[in-house]
Amino acid sequence: MQSDRQFAGSIPALYDRYLGPLIFADYAADLARRAAALAPERVLETAAGTGIVSRALARALAPATEIVATDLNQPMLDYAAVQPGAEKIVWRRADAQSLPFADASFDAVVCQFGVMFFPDRPAAYREVRRVLKPDGCFLFNVWDRIEENEFANRVTDAIAALFPADPPGFLARTPHGHHDVAVVTSELSRSGFGRVEVGTLAKRSRAVSSLEAAIGFCEGTPLRSEIEARAPERLGEATAAAAAAIAARFGAGPVDGKIQAHVFTARR
């Protein structure tokens, strides 16, 4: 759905402030460590969003490494480019399915929880392979099924209960909708990647309150657009319902839940 890829208005700031530390930062550090182990000279990031991985790469890679971070969504890039730690990164708007770079121009391509947003993933994978140097490496992750990600699952159920006739399904449909390792591996192989490795990585998702977690999911993602399309005046009610659902399971104070993702390493 087109709305699943719309990150505009206040969404980029809320996404970075709340979801960054809640679910993205630890996985960004993991991808950055994996990229640093390759000792690349030039790295491309696709679907960079607000630059959470971009900044982790800037911290982890050698100072001379060139980092080019791209995203199709200009508001996300605008937000990312002015964050502390973003100074050495080259920011560029680009479609991951049609990259504006020469063949064999990067040692590594990194994508954090972005491939599930590509309308044509095999096309995007072919583009990644095209811009990689011989034996270049594609590092990316995808969320596991929503049942393995406790906060997202509770939020989805709580919002569905408010709109039973037409439940918003963004979280289950897109971020957690492409968790089948066999399918992803097959798409990579059909796109020309010869060696594909995958591992499942569980971590903990923490927030100072259930409300902060709920704000991240309900107001810092396209789930917000789904809620507002049904009843714009109910966004606050939906956020409160999601917070109550998280608190019912994890407490009203600091919350701590499981998150889980699959991490892929594909060689050109």
Question: Above 80 in pLDDT, residue 3?
Answer: no
pTM of the model as a whole: 0.95
What pLDDT band is residue 7 in, cutting at 50, 70 and 90?
A: confident
As a whole-number percent, the residues of the chain with pLDDT over 70 amount to 97
pLDDT in tens, 60-100: 999 999 999 999 999 999 999 999 999 999 999 999 999 99
Q: Which pLDDT does position 9 carry in this prediction?
A: 82
Phi, psi angle pair for 94, to nearest 5°: -160, 150
Amino acid 29: pLDDT: 98
What's the domain range around 189? 2-267
Residue 252 — very low, low, confident or very high, per pLDDT cuts 50/70/90?
confident
Q: Read off the CATH number of the domain in which 140 is found.
A: 3.40.50.150
DSSP labels for the chain? -GGGG---TTHHHHIIIIIIIIIIHHHHHHHHHHHHHT--SEEEESS-TTSHHHHHHHHHS-TT-EEEEEES-HHHHHHHHTSTT-TTPEEEE-BTTB--S-TT-EEEEEEES-GGG-SSHHHHHHHHHHHEEEEEEEEEEEE--GGGSHHHHHHHHHHHHHSTTS---HHHHTTTS---HHHHHHHHHHTT--EEEEEEEEEEEEESSHHHHHHHHHHSSTHHHHHHHH-GGGHHHHHHHHHHHHHHHH-SSSEEEEEEEEEEEEE-
Q: What is the pLDDT of residue 225?
A: 94
Residue burial 2-35, b: 16+ Cβ < 10 Å; e: rest? eebeebeeebbebbbebbbbbbbbbbbebbbebb
Token pair recorded at residue 119: 């309308």
Task: Note the pLDDT of residue 8.
Answer: 63
Q: What is the number of domains present in the chain?
A: 1
Mean pLDDT of 255-268: 98
For residue range 20-34, list pLDDT tens digits in order: 999 999 999 999 999
